[in-house]
Structure 1
Amino acid sequence: MPTALPVTLDRDSGIPLAVQLADALRSSAAGGHLRGGDRLPSTRALARRLGVSRTVTSAAYEQLHAEGWIAGKHGSGTYVTTSPPSDPPARPAVADEISEPDVLLDLRVGTPWAAGIDRAAWRRAWRAAADTPPLTHAHQAGLPEYREVIAEHLLRHRGLAVGTDSVLATGGTTAAVAELTAAVLSPGDLVAVEEPGYQRAVRTLSAAGLRVVGVGVDTEGLRTAAIPAGARAVYCAPAHQYPMGSRMSAARRVGLVERARAEHMLIIEDDYDGELRFDVAPLPLLAALAPDVVVHLGTTSKILTPTLGAGWMVAPSVVTSAVLAYRERTSIRPSPAGQRVLVELARHGDLGRHLRKLRRELAERRALLATALREAGIPVLGDDAGAHLVVPFASARAERDRIEAAQEHGIRLDGLGRHFAGKPDTFGVAIGYAGCSRDALRRALDVLVGILR
């Protein structure tokens, strides 16, 4: 029997004494102070030692016995049955917990300019969202006020006139793709995707048992003529192809829509950063050109922050009905918290002000980076839009060498190779310029140019 049990009871605590005692003994056994085979005092003796009633110690022992920590032996007493492992295994780290070396500058693609969000407006939106009454039932399509805000946003910033009933809230682009695969598509369906393209969406489609085939892109976007016959759907980013940065030409848009209608093919339009154009107004959305065959997807992750976990879907009624039926069956639906925050940002005009500021800031950063590269004779690909540009190379080795050289200087670059589902046939680096500060980008320019030259 241990000479002293590490038990301290707090009579002023709101936690029952029996619970405190059980917790203390359990912790002692888990931590090694008590080991398997140790004999515990009787409930009567322990009650006297702690100055509590026997009801307290009996209740604690009953709880530990039910959990398997202790066992009673007839005529002998109560014993600890479980010892802690001699060398407990390390808790495996999740991806975000994996430590990375210090970097001077992270220029990988996909990080938004979260530092540019007005903090006073951000706090005000969260406070106002918290003041709304808790929901008593779920809104399968999303909060009505959120859908109204998105309809207004699409009209004002993307030229798409839709009714609130045509808008569904989503948890973001990848979550929306997952819902479409479950509600609209079927295992074995053939789906065409851009190559290179957004691999999270590609992996989501593949994981659902769909047959995914990559279709190349060029300076006019997706090579629509190369979409294989029999495709049930095509996933593309026509406004600003990810990651090459091209814009689908008007001729290809018309051709894609004509094929979709003739072959009963669904077009999934990913408009992940369509609000961020700096040279001319973007071409109209495919959803405006052909609302009968296009599912339009948008997200707040690139224009604001992934914190909100909020996106939207505009689709033909047969698609929205199928998605709503899927949500009803599974109870899987986007969280309303981020929706409420976006509503408050829009209500006070903060969303519009942020987008105007964001366009100005990213336009200046792109000009700074593109000018420095071109003056050094380094080619730059991609439309004057979004939050990244591409520097092409002739080979996989050249791409790898530049990424490794940048890493040695504390700069993280994003190779095109990881954006292919199949074997890469285009090489280079995609440089994101939104996640860092403009001063940090300017300070690193000479080093970056030297590496890429």
Structure 2
Amino acid sequence: MPHDVPAASSPLLELAIDLDRHAPLPLAVQLADALRHAATAGQLRGGDRLPSTRALARHLAVSRTVTAAAYEQLHAEGWIVGRRGSGTYVTTSPPGARDAPPSGPVRAAAPGANPEVVLTPGVPWAGGIDRAAWRRAWRAAADAEPDLKPQRAGLTSYREAVIEHLLRHRGLLVGGWTSGNVLTTGGTSAAVGELAAAVLPRGAKVAVEEPGYQRAVGALRAAGARVVPVPVDHSGLVVEEVPRDVAAVYCSPAHQFPIGGRLPAERRIALIERARAEGWLIVEDDYDGELRYDVAPLPVLASMAPDVVVHLGTTSKILTPTLGVGWMLAAEPVTSAVVEHRERTGTGPALAGQRVLVELGRHGDLGRHLRRLRRELSQRRALVVDGLAAEGIEVFGDRAGAHVVLPLPGADAEGRIVAEAAERGVVLDGLGRHHDGAPSWHGLALGYSACTRDDLTSALPMLARSVRRAR
């Protein structure tokens, strides 16, 4: 470890650490337990600088091999981190953690603490955004004159940019689609709530995927809709299970969230035929449809059936939630009803994020980012799949998006692995929370876009060990 740290500058050297040279437990394990306990008990706090392995070895009168092994173990568990040219620091000290003997279990980080590694889905690869292009787009957006009134439908330039984006990256068959069929939204959940409030009768039944996107479920209920869960399998929504008396069906056909399947052509046709015959509205959530690595994505449902499909997209998964915008593509009666609802309620999308996306598209930066994003996520997916396969663990989910699913034998195993990972500063996402009712799928929705590749590589062996124990 770089930089020797004198005793006065490290709280660790003020602690009484008793290593028993006659105990069967190796000295390195004893030392790691003692340091872990000190962090858990609050004797060491997040941000405290540790002495170098050499200085600590001198202080304890042990071999440097002992201190280096202890530091390596704690680093792997996420308790300490090395900063180039600066030294080694404690990363977490859970406040109010129960005092436990040094050999006791590691405590989970407190809610709200910054985790070391985030392996949850739904988080973009924001670190891959070209900062020069990002700054240029914001500067250009700021050149516009301040607005005097809201744009309920959204900026025309933004809606035109969305049509171009869907044509190039989502296989939209343009046909009769114009910017008049596009509304700017505040994101998918906001759009779902607006649709329910503006287009559907109060108390209407809406079929949703189970498991599925629970924020959309919450938005539907907040707008007065009655949610009807419909099962999914590895190919997405099971169309024949949709009740006949629903007013709308909410689904994610390009990449079902969270199971990860793609709705095949025959199910798409069956869904559209039933919608037309039974008077449904299909709400197509295309949250990461641009992110496919194996084959070209199937055309959006809106291209197949513009009369019954409302297509929703968002910038939060392909860029960042900072922009706070998405889009809705629908037939004119739907878009008109939503605009009227916005007029009545005084709501509408913010304009700044729209202008930034327009500038990113105008200079080709959006297209370059998406190409770079697909390449990076494809490589990360291979890293995850191959790394776990080497440990005898298989995952499922299409070669698309930014997550895979790791199946587990039950809810207990799922909860235990999530808790064990949290103790080591790794945030995982169990499938249980993506159900509206009793969970029918058990496992992890394993995201790979929020962290660095190094963090991902370091976390996989720990995850594999937990999974093997659970099984």
Question: Into which bin does the TM-score normalised by the smaller protein fall?
Answer: 0.7 to 0.9
CA displacement at 1:138 relative to structure 2: 2.4
Distance in 2 between the 1:157 and 1:200 partners? Answer: 26
Q: Deviations over 1:248-281 (max 9, x none)?
A: 1111100000000000100000000000001111
Point out the structure with max Rg over C-alpha.
1
Opposite residue 147 of structure 2, the aligned amino acid is L
1:347-397: CA deviation from partner (whole Å, max 9, x where unpaired): 111101100000000000000001111222212111000001100112111
Counterpart of 1:149 in 2: which secondary structure? helix
CA distance in 1, matches of 2:324, 2:425: 30
Equivalents in 2 of 1:227, 1:292: separation in Å? 20
Q: Name the counterpart of 1:158.
A: 170
Amino acid of the structure 2 residue aligned with 1:348: H
Does 1:332 pair with 2:347?
yes
Q: Counterparts of 1:221 and 1:258 in 2: how far apart (Å)?
A: 17
Instruction: Return the alpha-carbon distance in structure 2 between the equivalents of residues 296 and 178 of structure 1.
Output: 14
Equivalent AA in structure 2 for residue 420 of structure 1: H
Q: What's the offset of the Cα at 1:99? A: 5.2
Aligned length: 356
Selected match of 2:137 from 122, 125, 140 = 125
* Unaligned stretches of 5+ residues in structure 1: 1-97
Q: Does 1:111 align with 2:123?
A: yes
Aligned to 1:216: 231
2: CA distance, partners of 1:348 / 1:292:
33
Q: Name the SS for the 1:318 alignment partner.
A: helix
Q: Deviations over 1:76-107 (max 9, x none)?
A: xxxxxxxxxxxxxxxxxxxxxx9534533111
Match of 2:306 among 291, 305, 310: 291
Q: Identify the match of residue 369 of structure 1 among 359, 384, 388.
A: 384
TM-score, length of structure 1 as denominator length: 0.77
1:205 partnered with 2:220: yes
Q: How far apart are the structure 2 equivalents of 1:136 and 1:101?
A: 41
Q: Which structure 2 residue ranges, 5 or more long, are not aligned?
A: 1-109
**1:296-338 deviation per Cα after TM superposition (whole angstroms, max 9, x unaligned):** 0000000000000010000111101101111122221000110
Separation in structure 1 between the aligned mates of residue 349 and residue 113 of structure 2, nearest angstrom: 35
Contact 2:180–2:332, Cα closer than 8 Å, also in 1: no
The aligned residue for residue 315 of structure 1 is 330
Asked whether the 8 Å contact 2:186–2:324 carries over to 1, the reply is yes
| Corresponding position: 1:402 with 2:417 | yes
Shift of 1:444: 2.1
Counterparts of 2:224 and 2:183, CA distance in 1: 25
Equivalent residue letter for 2:332? S
- After TM superposition, the score normalised by the length of structure 2 is 0.74
Moved over 6 A (4+): none
Q: Distance in 1 between matches of 2:425 and 2:330?
A: 44
The separation in 2 between residues aligned to 1:252 and 1:426, in whole angstroms, is: 21
Contact 2:418 2:427 (8 Å CA) reproduced: yes
Q: Distance in 1 between matches of 2:131 and 2:146?
A: 25
Aligned-pair RMSD on alpha carbons?
Answer: 1.1
Following the alignment from structure 1 to structure 2, what is the Cα–Cα distance between the partners of residues 104 and 324?
A: 43
Tell me, yes or no, if the aligned pair for 2:193 and 2:222 is still in contact at 8 Å.
Answer: no
Report the CA distance shift for 1:308/1:102 in structure 2 as closer, same or farther (over 3 A): closer
Q: Which residue pairs with 1:139 in the alignment?
A: 151
Separation in structure 2 between the aligned mates of residue 101 and residue 167 of structure 1, nearest angstrom: 40
> Aligned letter for 2:394?
P
What are the equivalent positions in structure 2 for 1:53-202 lying under 5 Å apart?
100-160=112-172, 161=174, 162-202=177-217
